[in-house]
């Protein structure tokens, strides 16, 4: 059996006056995270509280959120150091970063040696247009640690093609750093995350930003969860572990990768293969040409 331990750090965003305050918040969560977890994941746009560090913060609006790009190197250095010191793979949520003349919402996987891989969010939630955010164009499966992993940042989990491509490319676990501003927004991502786990017979880890930081920052709403396909190997509702709603906390659970492959062949529902079995039917229809 291939056992994998996963921890999700549910961060409560708040305005901070300097980078050290933000680092202390990360440190608190990691102090409560087992060092033997194979993967640790933080939520989307976890650095937004740094907007409070600017002297003119009272004059800033949501459109100014891109100013946190000034802390990009600090953010990378911090998580690289944590990954090295803890000898742990850390998915550092995501951060707004400028590349040439564009801003991207970029999720990073920090490896045990301090190096990192990145994923630019490919589908921007409509509200992100306020932040001048551009969309990435690549979907990658990373063979880092004991599992093959993919990233689907928040709204990307609502786009079924993302997780399907990642699972066909070999992803066994998809991590979804998330930042949903309302209760309906949270449940959209959460329900879609569960659907993606069922459709592709994979594990899906949803880790949202929570908290009420005050204008111009959006509130966060949600509860982290480690999800499975709904079958007899796992809890009937598919929820392996779930965090307390809207609380800064850490959840940890162990999953078995071998159970995924057995489930794909012998499960009550074999959706991973069955989604391709009738492709000759799907090919008769061309919905995208009609849009």
Q: Tell me: the pLDDT tens digits for 28-84?
A: 999 999 999 999 999 999 999 999 999 887 788 888 889 999 999 999 999 999 999
> Alpha carbon 174 to chain centroid distance?
8
- Indicate the SS3 state at residue 175: strand
Distances (CA, A) of 170 to 85, 174, 253, 264: 29, 11, 22, 13
Q: What is the CATH number of the domain that holds 27?
A: 3.60.110.10
User: pLDDT tens digits for 152-172?
Assistant: 999 999 999 999 999 999 999
Residue 106 phi, psi dihedral angles, 5° rounding: -115, 125
Q: Give the pLDDT of residue 288.
A: 57
DSSP line for 119-174? EE-SS--GGGGGGTEE-------EEETTEEEEE--GGGGG-HHHHHHHHHTT-SEE
Identify the band that residue 188 occupies on the pLDDT scale cut at 50, 70 and 90. Answer: very high
Whether 83 and 138 have beta carbons less than 8 Å apart is answered as no
Whether 176 and 43 have beta carbons less than 8 Å apart is answered as no
Return the residue matching tokens 């608190």: 28
Whether 162 and 152 have beta carbons less than 8 Å apart is answered as yes
* 44 among known catalytic residues: yes
Q: Examine the pLDDT at 225 and tell me if it is beyond 60.
A: yes
Whether 41 and 77 have beta carbons less than 8 Å apart is answered as no
Which is catalytic among the residues 9, 44, 97, 156?
44
Report the C-alpha gap between 217 and 258 in whole angstroms: 42
Q: Give the pLDDT of residue 290.
A: 56
pTM listed for this prediction: 0.96
What angle do helix axes 19-31 and 72-86 make, rounded to 10 degrees? Answer: 30
Report the C-alpha gap between 2 and 252 in whole angstroms: 17
Question: What's the mean per-residue pLDDT of the chain?
Answer: 95
Domain count, the chain: 1
Report the C-alpha gap between 268 and 121 in whole angstroms: 34
Q: Give the pLDDT of residue 289.
A: 53
Whether 116 and 144 have beta carbons less than 8 Å apart is answered as no
Q: Give the pLDDT of residue 58.
A: 78
Distances (CA, A) of 134 to 80, 124, 130, 142, 221: 25, 7, 11, 23, 24
Which is catalytic among the residues 76, 111, 120, 121?
121
For 128, residues 6+ apart whose C-beta sits below 8 A from its C-beta are 105
Range of the domain at 268: 3-290
Q: Examine the pLDDT at 113 and tell me if it is beyond 70.
A: yes
% of the chain residues with pLDDT over 90: 86
Q: What is the mean pLDDT of residues 271-278?
A: 90
Which is catalytic among the residues 9, 154, 192, 207?
154
User: What's the CA angle centered on 63, arms 60 and 68, to 5 degrees?
Assistant: 75
Q: Give the pLDDT of residue 233.
A: 94
Q: Examine the pLDDT at 138 and tell me if it is beyond 80.
A: yes
């Amino acid at each position: 059996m291939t056992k994998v331990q996963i921890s999700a750090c549910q961060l409560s965003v708040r305005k901070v006056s300097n980078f050290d305050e933000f680092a202390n918040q990360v440190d608190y969560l990691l102090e409560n995270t087992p060092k033997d977890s194979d993967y640790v994941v933080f939520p989307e746009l976890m650095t937004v509280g740094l907007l409070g560090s600017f002297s003119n913060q009272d004059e800033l609006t949501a459109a100014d959120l891109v100013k946190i790009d000034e802390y990009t190197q600090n953010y990378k250095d911090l998580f690289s150091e944590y990954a090295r010191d803890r000898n742990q793979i850390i998915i550092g949520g995501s951060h707004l970063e400028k590349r040439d003349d564009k801003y991207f919402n970029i999720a990073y996987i920090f490896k045990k040696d301090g190096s990192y891989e990145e994923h630019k969010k490919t589908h921007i939630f409509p509200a992100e247009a306020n932040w001048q955010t551009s969309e990435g164009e690549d979907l990658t499966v990373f063979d880092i640690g004991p599992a093959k992993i993919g990233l689907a940042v928040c709204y990307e989990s609502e786009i079924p093609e993302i997780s399907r491509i990642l699972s066909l490319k070999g992803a066994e676990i998809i991590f979804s750093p998330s930042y949903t501003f309302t209760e309906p927004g949270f449940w959209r991502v959460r329900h879609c995350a569960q659907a993606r786990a069922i459709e592709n017979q994979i594990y899906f880890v949803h880790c949202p930003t929570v908290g009420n930081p005050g204008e111009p920052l959006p509130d966060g709403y949600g509860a982290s969860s480690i999800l499975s396909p709904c079958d007899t190997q796992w809890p009937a509702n598919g929820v392996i572990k779930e965090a307390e709603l809207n609380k800064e906390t850490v959840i940890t659970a162990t999953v078995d990768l071998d159970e995924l492959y057995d489930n794909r062949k012998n499960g009550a529902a074999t959706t991973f293969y069955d989604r391709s079995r009738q492709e000759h039917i799907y090919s008769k229809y061309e919905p995208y040409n009609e849009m």
